[in-house]
Amino acid sequence: MPANHVAKLESKFRHAFTLHQQGKRKQAGKLYRTVLKSRPDHSGALHYLGLLSHQEGNSKEAIRLMRSALRQQPDNFDAMMNLGNVYQEQEQFSEATECYRKAIELRPTEAAALSNLSVSLRRQEHLKEAIEAGLSAVALDPEYLIAWYNLGNAYKVAQRFKSAITSYQKAIELKPDLSLAHDGLCQSTFQLEHRSLFGRASFSKTKKAYEQWLACEPDNALAQFMLEAIGGKSRLLRAPDAVVRNMFDQFAPSFETHLQSLNYRLPQMLTPLLEDLLGPPQASVKIVDGGCGTGLCAAALKPWARSLTGVDLSTAMLEKARQKALYDALFEAELTTFMQQHDGAFDLAVYADTLCYFGDLQDILHATAEALDDQGTLLLTLEASAFSQDVTRYQLQPQGRYTHSPSYVENTLQACGFAHILIRSDSTRTEVGRPVDGLLVSARKP
C-alpha cells in the first residue's frame, strides 16, 4: 500500500478516535468502517469499532471485532483489557479471567488489570484468588479507590467482614461520597454485628456507619431507610419503591449466585405446592408472578401456565428474567398499582419473597383479590414474626425486611375476601448459617 494512502488511513483513524472520545459515535463508526474497508486488518479500527459496538449494545459484535484486533496485535494491552471488560459485563467470567491474566502478563504492574481480575474471580467464587489479586492491585496503587472497593467486595463475599470493612473504609477515605463503598461498609458492619446478636443495641456500629453515609449524602434514600430499620421503631408501612428498585438494580448481577449461597429452595418447593393447590399441570392457568425478580420461579410455574406474567420494580432484574424466555409478558411496575389495574385478570398470584418489603398487607391483598378471577388462588411467602399471637403485628427488621405474625396474615386475608387459608411454618433460605423462620401461605377466593 502506498505510503501516502497509509498516512491518509491513519489520519482517518485518528479522527474517528477523536470523534469517538467526543461521544459522536455515528460519525466515528462510519470512519472506522471506512478504514477497515481499505485495510481489514487495521487493529486499532477493529478494537475501537468493537468498543463502540459494545457501547451501542451489540456485545457479540464487539467480542468478534476485538478478538480480530488481538489476532493482528496480540500484545495490545488496551484491547485485551476492553475485551475482558466486555466479557465481564456479559457475565462470561472465565473468558474475562483469561483476558485479564493475559493483560497482566503484558503489564505486570497494571493495578487495573489485577483489580478487574479480582472481580471476575469473585464472580466465579474463587475467593482466595480474588482476594490475592485485589491485594496485589492495592499494593501496586494504594490510591486506586475502585481496587479497594473491589477488594472489599471479595472479602465480604468470603465473609471476612473485618477485612471488608477496612477495605471499604480505605475507599471512602479516597472518595468520601462513594455510595457503593458506604453500602458495602454498612452491610459488612451489620453482618459482623449480626453474627453475635444480642438485641438491637448490638447494631451500634452499623448505625454509626449509616450515619456516616448520610453525613456525606443526606438525601440517600437507602441509608435513610436502613437507619430507620435498625432503630427498631419504624412506622413505615412498606419499603419505599426507590429503595427496593435501586437495591435490586445493583443486586441483579449477583442475585442468583447469592441466593445459592443462602440455600434458597422455594423454586424446588413450588411443584408439589402447585400440585396440591391446582392438580396436575395442564397449561391452563393465568399466572402472575409478583416481584418476579430474575425469574427464579418461572420454570416451576410454566407447566401450569396458560399465560405467565412477571411484575417487578427493578429494570435490571427484569432483564435477567427476560433472558430466560419463559414469561409471556413482563412489566416494570409497583405491584399494588399493577394489580389494581388488572381486575379479574389472573387465576393464580404468586408472591415469592416479595411481601417481606411490605409491612401493612391490606392494600396489596385487597388489590390481589380484585385481580384474581372467581375462585382464584394466592400463594405467598413471608418471614415469620416472633409475635405469632399478636393480630396486629408486623415489624421492620434491621435487615430492611418486614416480619409478620401468622394471626395478622390470616385476619388480613379474611378481611380482603380470601378463604381456605392455610399457613404453615417453613424456611426457604438461611441467613448467617441459620434457617430463616418463614411462613408459606395459600388462600383462595370463595
> What tens digit of pLDDT does each residue of 78-124 get?
999 999 999 999 999 999 999 999 999 999 999 999 999 999 999 99
Q: Which amino acid is at 119?
A: V
Same domain, yes or no: 53 and 168: yes
Same domain, yes or no: 34 and 176: yes
Residue 442 dihedral angles phi and psi, to the nearest 5°: -130, 150
Domain presence at residue 188: no
Identify the domain containing residue 425 by its residue range: 256-444
CB count, 10 Å around CB of 21? Answer: 10
Domain presence at residue 213: no
Helix (H) or strand (E) holding 54: helix 43-55
pLDDT at 386: 66
pLDDT at 319: 95
For residue range 256-280, what is the model confidence (pLDDT) as tens digits? Answer: 888 887 889 989 999 999 999 999 9
Last residue of a domain, one of 182, 208, 236: 182
Q: What is the pTM of this model?
A: 0.88
Q: Does the structure show a pLDDT above 50 at 199? A: no
Cα–Cα dist 187/431, whole Å = 13
Pairing state between β 402-404 and 372-384: parallel
Q: Does the structure show a pLDDT above 90 at 67? A: yes
Q: Contact at 8 Å (CB) between 432 and 385?
A: no
Domain presence at residue 238: no
> Above pLDDT 90, what percent of the chain?
85
Based on the structure, what is the number of domains in the chain? 2
Last residue of a domain, one of 153, 182, 211: 182
User: What is the pLDDT of the chain when averaged over all its residues?
Assistant: 93
* Dihedral sign (CA 266, 271, 276, 278): positive
Q: Does the structure show a pLDDT above 60 at 391? A: no
Q: Does the structure show a pLDDT above 60 at 41? A: yes
Question: All 3 cell numbers of residue 183?
Answer: 453500602
Give the mean model confidence (pLDDT) for residues 319-329: 97
Domain presence at residue 223: no
pLDDT at 7: 86
CATH assignment of the domain containing 415: 3.40.50.150
For residue range 398-442, what is the model confidence (pLDDT) as tens digits? Answer: 999 999 999 999 999 999 999 999 999 988 888 767 788 899 999
Same domain, yes or no: 150 and 271: no
**Confidence band for 292, pLDDT divided at 50, 70 and 90:** very high
Same domain, yes or no: 47 and 163: yes
Same domain, yes or no: 422 and 331: yes
- The gap between the terminal CA atoms of the chain, to the nearest Å, is 82
* Nearest Cα to Cα of residue 184 among 208, 166, 204, 202: 166
Same domain, yes or no: 383 and 287: yes
Q: Contact at 8 Å (CB) between 206 and 401?
A: no
Same domain, yes or no: 168 and 266: no
> Above pLDDT 70, what percent of the chain?
96
Same domain, yes or no: 272 and 144: no
CATH assignment of the domain containing 175: 1.25.40.10
Last residue of a domain, one of 166, 182, 198: 182
Same domain, yes or no: 173 and 306: no
* Dihedral sign (CA 412, 413, 416, 417): negative
Domain presence at residue 205: no
Same domain, yes or no: 267 and 149: no
Domain presence at residue 196: no
Same domain, yes or no: 437 and 334: yes
> In angstroms, what is the C-alpha Rg of the chain?
26
Q: Which amino acid is at 280?
A: P
Domain presence at residue 401: yes
Question: All 3 cell numbers of residue 10?
Answer: 491513519
Domain presence at residue 31: yes
For residue range 158-193, what is the model confidence (pLDDT) as tens digits? Answer: 999 999 999 999 999 999 999 999 999 999 999 998
Q: Contact at 8 Å (CB) between 155 and 163?
A: yes
Same domain, yes or no: 143 and 265: no
Question: All 3 cell numbers of residue 362?
Answer: 391490606
